[in-house]
Amino acid sequence: MAVDFLSLDSGDGWWGSREWPSIVEGFVARLDDPADPFWEIKGAREALANAPTEVKDRDALSEALLEAPWTLSTEVCSWLIRVGIGYVRFDRRED
């Protein structure tokens, strides 16, 4: 599953892209706000309530997503995809 985060063909929304740090930051911030409209994605709010233990340490999760997503367990990777990490939206920055 961690391979999904590493796919070079997946465009600008995954690990290694310039948008990835913003996606991770936005996603991790939303984890602490279950009322955020982001969680209205079908089934995401229910999955949020059943997050794997590894997700509870936000700093460690953020670091792993930014530096080495392949170190995350299959359970966590599956959960991240199921709850919609790929759907995080943000204002694009011009670098």
Alpha-carbon distance 47 to 39, whole Å? 9
pLDDT band at 59 (very low <50, low <70, confident <90, very high): very high
Q: What is the CA radius of gyration of the chain?
A: 13
User: For the residues 2-21, what does the mean pLDDT come to?
Assistant: 61
User: What is the pTM (predicted TM-score) of this model?
Assistant: 0.76
> HSE of 27 in the Cβ direction (CA atoms, 13 Å)?
28
Please tell me the distance from the alpha carbon of residue 45 to that of residue 22, in angstroms, as a whole number: 21
In the chain, domain spans: 3-87
pLDDT one-digit tens code per residue, 18-53: 888 989 999 999 998 988 888 888 778 888 888 999
Instruction: State the pLDDT at residue 86.
Output: 79
